[in-house]
Structure 1
Amino acid sequence: MPKVLLLSRQPLATRPLQKWLDRTADDIVLVTTPKAVAGSEQVLADCFPHHRLVPDYHSWSAEQAAEEAAREHDVDLVASTSESDVLRAARLRARLGLPGQDGASASAYRDKVVMKQLAAAAGIPVPAFAAVDSPADLLDFIDVQGFPVVVKPRLGAGAEGVSILRDAADVSAFLGRQRSSDVPYLPGQWMAECFVTGEFFHVDGIMRDGRIVHAWPSQYNGGLAERIRDELHMSSVLLAPEDERTTMLMRMAAEVVAALPGAALPLAFHLEAWIGQDGVPVLCEIGSRAGGALVAETYESAFGIHLAREGLRAQCGADLALDAQPAAPATAVGWILLPPGHGTFVPPAEPCPVPGAEVTTLLEPGTQRHGVEHVTDAAASALVRAGTAESVRRRLTELTEWWHENTAWR
């Protein structure tokens, strides 16, 4: 196994890297945070003796510390576990002269303007869009396209910072949030695009060198920005093999992966798209990492492959456990995130009675919450299996009704 510099801010308690990777003590130089290893100090000492703890993970100094560690240990590869590390990992590879996803590929999979420019040039449908480097850019776009308009960070993830502008008052509100925004109001940071009406889908899998190795599409129950705004549950169901949208979305995913600069080593990917009344898929975005929420666990139930684990192992030079496209999922499966409410959490007193549902409560009884804070924020999550995709949808509806009838926020 090659020696790998691994960037990860994921807690070792929930992302057991020592179990996912081979020979970690000798071959992995882990760059992480004190918070990520809290409670796992012995695992860190035993499995990652060549670690570097950085207190401010997203700072420039952390990237400098990562390069120093890479040079000290003469690493062969750079790997990462989060979307926020994709660009810095590419920069490190360039500085160190190492293989893997390079800057052009990383930018295409992170910067939504670059991404959509490349997709549009390849003939893939995308919403009308524009970079927003000043207030005038936003106002010019609205003058041409009209309302509603979506404004989002170009390097954002998980619908964070996304605003839907429906009138002039919304524009003023967006511009007025400059001082409180986590994303600076500076050139290269923001974009605008037309609001798309349609059903929302995602395609997940493994890609390599500009082609898909294996993948499968799923359907969300709604938009992610709307989930945060309206504090709704979020769910997704794998599409059936015979669903005509399965073929349509798989074709689109292949076209998008071919249109963007590839990487020789395999990477997980997560693509999102709408399908409107005209039946044409429209690209929302694609990331060169595994999907969040329970996407990886759902894929594992269907195909035996945990996408986050498989993608990380591939970055570290391991062979793929699955290297061909399955004809169909082994079982119909979906997932759901049930939202936190407002008040003190009182969970259901009895287990969930819905067949095929595996519910995990994520909050302790008595926890105080004030609604949904980010797209994957949840009081409980569940995987749901059934004989067909339609049966999974029905069971998700039953589970949601049971949860709301038996959960209190006092």
Structure 2
Amino acid sequence: MTRDHFPGPPAPAGRAVLYLGWQREPVESLRRLGADVTCLVTPELRCTAREQGFEGPLAVARDHTDTEDALGALAELGLKPSDFAVVCTEDEFAVVAAAVLRSLSGAQEAAVPTALALRDKAYQKQRARAAGVPVADWVRCPDLDAVRECPIEPPFVVKPPSGAGSQHTWIVREPADLDVAEPRSGPWLVERFVPGEELHVDGVVREGRVLLVSVSRYLHNVIEVHDGRLVASATLDDTDSALAAEVAALTGRVLAALDYRDGVYHLEAFHEDGRLTFGECAGRIGGGLIHETVLAKYGIDLYDEWAAAALGRPSPAAAREVRALKDSFGWVNLPARPGRLRILPGREEIEARPGVVEGQVWAKPGDTIGDHRLGSHLLVAKALVRAPSEAVTREQLAAVAEWFGRTVEVDPTEAADE
């Protein structure tokens, strides 16, 4: 399920592409399709790109998600957006900046409103509700004082309008919960709490037609990461085909409402008592091991699909019949307690656990680890599991996480003790 390492130089006929940020996999996919890629990066990402073998041009900005910084970094190299046939990114935080720069390049369809709808949760929900999609009530508040006075009664969820990974997100079950809110400036999105199980949907849309719908169920709703719960999911069984069909229909309505016609998507919804409620949608590949799960289950490489859409090339999935394996696949983010890592299981040890078909290690002994309860992106390793059913997959995901938690050893630090 892992991808090949960074390829050689692109073909001479490649198109000039500006990529905002640095992520090895999407840049690899662009270059495999003949793109001549320039990356617009921060100083830190510049070092990472070089360490990972990228030898192409790098424009260095203080903040690659800021259009002013981006234009200045390009000007330093004597470049401007119109020098590129394509401006794109798989970095969620740079989606709007890429659309704005694309509009400056003279593109006929800048799609800035769609990019904004894929980022700003309030605008997204507004467009979805206008299209008749079930959405929880929400209010956008400029600060915490306005949150305290909002008309939505607890329980409700407070989050940044353009956040990701459940960072700076929490449930308010009673007014007193706001008295210990984090000291972060607004604005805030207040959203009525939706009970039920959380699903995520991942796939491909081209020319407004949804080509792939992969439906998975989280072991615990993602916001529960703040209570120390695992971030993990497993694909649905065939016995849930009716639910999968309803989710697919909801997904199509949401993507149409956002006017998102070409690319990959990661959508979340809540299911309770036979009812679906739309949560949010991003125009990127989901985190965890969602890419690996889709590749294993359907044989579809979402990075290649993303790159083909960005370059206006035909979808690889559309060229063949997509068939799903019957087995369930699932993934789990493996965290560690805050502190300095002393002993960390390796990839081979993770892959030796029952059902595990791929392990990834994202840290090393000696690294200082923060509190994984702050967001779903904080982890030290990952595992991909295959089993005959969703129920067994869920059991094996919990088992490998329990084993990992017993095996990893962390020395407390002063910062972790505070």
Q: Give TM class, smaller chain.
A: 0.7 to 0.9
- What residue in structure 2 maps to residue 51 of structure 1? 58
**Once the two structures are superposed, what CA deviation does each residue of 1:331-365 show, in whole Å capped at 9, x if it has no partner?**
42110011111344323599244333033333223
- What residue in structure 1 maps to residue 219 of structure 2? 221
Give the secondary structure class of the aligned counterpart of 1:384.
Answer: strand
Deviation, structure 1 residue 99: 4.7
Deviation, structure 1 residue 370: 4.0
**Once the two structures are superposed, what CA deviation does each residue of 1:24-65 show, in whole Å capped at 9, x if it has no partner?**
6x722221233223265387674x1x3312243334432213
- What residue in structure 2 maps to residue 340 of structure 1? 336
Q: 1:22 aligns with which of 5, 17, 32?
A: 32
Amino acid at match of 1:22: R
Taking structure 2 as the reference length, what is the TM-score of the superposition?
Answer: 0.84
CA distance in 1, matches of 2:337, 2:299: 34
Deviation, structure 1 residue 378: 1.1
**Once the two structures are superposed, what CA deviation does each residue of 1:274-331 show, in whole Å capped at 9, x if it has no partner?**
112x221111100111111211111111122232342134202333211277353464
User: CA 1:23–1:326 in structure 2 vs 1: closer, same or farther (change >3 Å)?
Assistant: closer
Does residue 147 of the first structure (1) align with residue 148 of the second (2)?
A: no
Amino acid at match of 2:248: M
Q: Is the 8 A contact 2:103 2:110 kept in 1?
A: no
Deviation, structure 1 residue 216: 0.9
Q: 1:205 aligns with which of 200, 203, 206?
A: 203
CA distance in 2, matches of 1:241, 1:101: 40
Amino acid at match of 1:315: A
Amino acid at match of 1:369: I
Deviation, structure 1 residue 135: 4.9
User: CA 1:104–1:16 in structure 2 vs 1: closer, same or farther (change >3 Å)?
Assistant: closer
Deviation, structure 1 residue 382: 0.3
- Equivalent positions of 1:215-294 (< 5 A) are 215-227=213-225, 229-243=226-240, 244-263=242-261, 266-276=262-272, 278-294=273-289
How many residues in Structure 1 have an aligned counterpart in Structure 2?
Answer: 389
Q: Which runs of 5+ in 1 are unaligned?
A: none
Amino acid at match of 1:89: A
User: CA 1:20–1:192 in structure 2 vs 1: closer, same or farther (change >3 Å)?
Assistant: same
Q: Is the 8 A contact 1:335 1:383 kept in 2?
A: yes
The alignment-based identity, stated in percent, is 28
CA distance in 1, matches of 2:142, 2:61: 32
Q: 1:82 aligns with which of 91, 104, 118?
A: 91
User: CA 1:53–1:114 in structure 2 vs 1: closer, same or farther (change >3 Å)?
Assistant: same
CA distance in 2, matches of 1:238, 1:101: 35
Q: Which runs of 5+ in 2 are unaligned?
A: 1-13, 412-418
User: CA 1:79–1:70 in structure 2 vs 1: closer, same or farther (change >3 Å)?
Assistant: farther
Q: Is the 8 A contact 2:237 2:389 kept in 1?
A: yes
Q: 1:8 aligns with which of 21, 27, 31?
A: 21
Give the secondary structure class of the aligned counterpart of 1:242.
Answer: helix
CA distance in 2, matches of 1:42, 1:367: 19
Q: Is the 8 A contact 2:220 2:230 kept in 1?
A: no
Taking structure 1 as the reference length, what is the TM-score of the superposition?
Answer: 0.86
CA distance in 1, matches of 2:169, 2:332: 22
User: CA 1:261–1:20 in structure 2 vs 1: closer, same or farther (change >3 Å)?
Assistant: closer
Amino acid at match of 2:338: H
